[in-house]
Structure 1
């Protein structure tokens, strides 16, 4: 089973990102869960969203997991949340930041020794450049696709177009550009 934990603030799209990822995973015939746990439901409040992906039916509905991937959408949460909580020895971290990987790890001692499992990408800036506002979930999905190797980029983009079909073409195009740019920029 693959488990993913998202660290975000309400309004940054982590819940939509987890659900969008779940929709794409479902096209592959795998079983998937996408859910979130909110503290306060106010915009800007910290929240966590989750995905589970497996070939078999998923009976585990607990929020506790040993994530294979930790996706940190809000840069400040990398410092204030315990992003390494319940980590496995193979957990990979994708963190939104304008810092280099070395600068990020220097500021977060719990990531030291995990350099080969830490990836950085500036999802906030990418979303501003491609979508026109700070909605960093789409770029995070692009970074996840690259780091996980779970999908070919073209397959993911085609299926995300279907997920986003209810939005105007300008929004769809912005999201496709954001996903692609983050896929190419993640380090």
Structure 2
């Protein structure tokens, strides 16, 4: 089973990202879960979202997991929450930051020796969408790092998910954000 934990602030789109990922992956015939945990529902409050993906029925409905991927879409949460909680030796991190990997590890020594990928999802979302909603760029980075789905397949499937709610202009901007993050994650 593949497990993913998102660290975000309310309003940054982690729940929408987790649900969108689940919709796309469910279309491939896999079993999926997407859910969130947050205290105060105020915009800006720290929260987590989760995905589980498997070929078999998923019987575990608890929030506890040992994630394969930890996605941090708000750079500040890297330093004020325990993003490393319940990790496995093979857990991979995709972290939104303007810092280099070396600077990030220097400021957050807990990350030393871990498999870390970085990119600036906030900047990408502002540049492409005009606002700081970094969930789409994070999904692009996840596709690159995980190899879960081919990027063109993912973008085409995600367009259908977004098409239910958004204008073509916003969908196109999200596709740019996804592709740019896919290309920039390191």
Q: TM-score range by the shorter chain?
A: over 0.9
Listed as ranges, the gaps of 5+ residues in structure 2 are none
Aligned to 1:9: 9
Aligned to 1:186: 185
**3-state SS in 1 of match to 2:78:** helix
Question: How many Å apart are 1:106 and its aligned residue?
Answer: 1.0
For residues 53-84 of structure 1, the C-alpha deviation after alignment (integer angstroms, 9 at most, x for no partner) is 00000000010000000000000001111011
User: What aligned pairs does 1:23-62 form with structure 2 within 5 A after superposition?
Assistant: 23-62=23-62
Aligned residues: 185
Aligned mate of 1:146, from 125, 137, 144: 144
Runs of 4+ in structure 1 deviating by more than 2 angstroms, as ranges, are: none
User: What aligned pairs does 1:95-110 form with structure 2 within 5 A after superposition?
Assistant: 95-110=95-110
The answer as to 2:135 corresponding to 1:134 is no
Q: TM-score, normalised by structure 1?
A: 0.98
Q: CA RMSD in A?
A: 0.5
**3-state SS in 1 of match to 2:155:** helix
Aligned mate of 1:119, from 108, 117, 133: 117
The answer as to 2:83 corresponding to 1:83 is yes
